[in-house]
Amino acid sequence: MFTVIHCLKIGSFSVVCLSCFAAWEAIGLGYQDELKQESRAVRFADQAQKQFEAEGQPESDFRIQESLALAFVRNHHAELERYLDLLRERYPQQYKAAITDISQRAVRFDELKRRNQSLYESSIKDWKLESRIKLLAARNAMDPSDRLQNQIKELVQEQLLLRVQRLQEEKTRLEERLDRVSQQLDEAQQPNSEAVEKRVKLLTQQAERQLRQSRIQKKQGSKSDERNSEK
């Protein structure tokens, strides 16, 4: 499942971020000193690959994952697609690892959406913020600027506020759940004769109904056997 704590752990997205950093290194600033940049890019790409070792899979399965991942990115973080394109051209293995990670995340988000719409929306927003922060951090590492630093700070602050809000909502849900459990416990600890009689009657009726069904099925089976023997 997906508890709130699990939803907050977006750090596994690092394979994509490291791979994007590799892409930034590869394209460099005007392709100056390309060989040196290429060497550094390969180191970061290898690190990403070690963090996420994608198992071999049929090409058709990967194409399904790719369609799912790209659709998810286009819907929720279109800017990321640009860096995925760079990975596909220069680092195919890292591209596959990133696609696998994103497609798995998309499936988990879809499952969460069916269970808890509110938590899904805040989790998607958290993922988008984390993704933007990682990309800006990679850009800032290549070409530091106060503008990028300020953008990163604003996004981090927004993300922290979102997580505080989500934890407060979770706290409220847990308190409501605790109240319901406490009420049920109080009722269970003070049984009355009427409740006991009602429970016994229900169990008796269920047992009798099952017995009747068993007899009917047995009788029908006997008739079927007789017809088969006559043939």
pLDDT tens-digit map of 124-148: 999 999 989 988 998 899 899 999 9
Closest CA to 162 of 220, 131, 212, 121: 121
Question: How far is it, in rounded angstroms, from Cα 106 to Cα 100?
Answer: 10
Show the DSSP H helices in the chain as ranges: 4-8, 14-27, 34-51, 59-76, 78-90, 92-115, 117-142, 146-189, 193-230
Residue 53: its pLDDT value, please?
47
Residue 10: its pLDDT value, please?
33
Cα four-point dihedral sign 41, 43, 46, 47: negative
Q: Which amino acid is at 66?
A: E
Among 11-15, 165-169, 183-187, 195-199, name the most confident range: 165-169
The conformation of residue 31, written as its DSSP 8-state character, comes to: T
Question: How far is it, in rounded angstroms, from Cα 218 to Cα 231?
Answer: 20
Share of the chain above pLDDT 90, in %: 39
Long-range CB contact pairs, 52-60, < 8 A, 24+: 52/15, 52/97, 52/98, 52/100, 52/101, 53/97, 54/93, 54/96, 54/97, 54/100
The conformation of residue 116, written as its DSSP 8-state character, comes to: -
Local confidence band at 205 (pLDDT 50, 70, 90 cut-offs): very high
Residue 51: its pLDDT value, please?
46
Q: What is the mean pLDDT of the chain?
A: 76
Local confidence band at 225 (pLDDT 50, 70, 90 cut-offs): low
Q: Helix, strand or coil for residue 60?
A: helix
Closest CA to 134 of 167, 101, 109: 101
Structure tokens at 144: 């530091």
pTM beyond cutoff 0.85: no
Contacts of 90 (CB under 8 A, 6+ apart): 22, 23, 26, 41
pLDDT tens-digit map of 144-167: 999 999 999 999 999 999 999 999
For residue 175, pLDDT over 60 is answered with yes
The region that residue 116 occupies, defined by phi over 0 for left and psi between -120 and 50 for alpha, beta otherwise, is beta
Structure tokens at 146: 């106060």
Local confidence band at 80 (pLDDT 50, 70, 90 cut-offs): confident
Structure tokens at 211: 């017995």
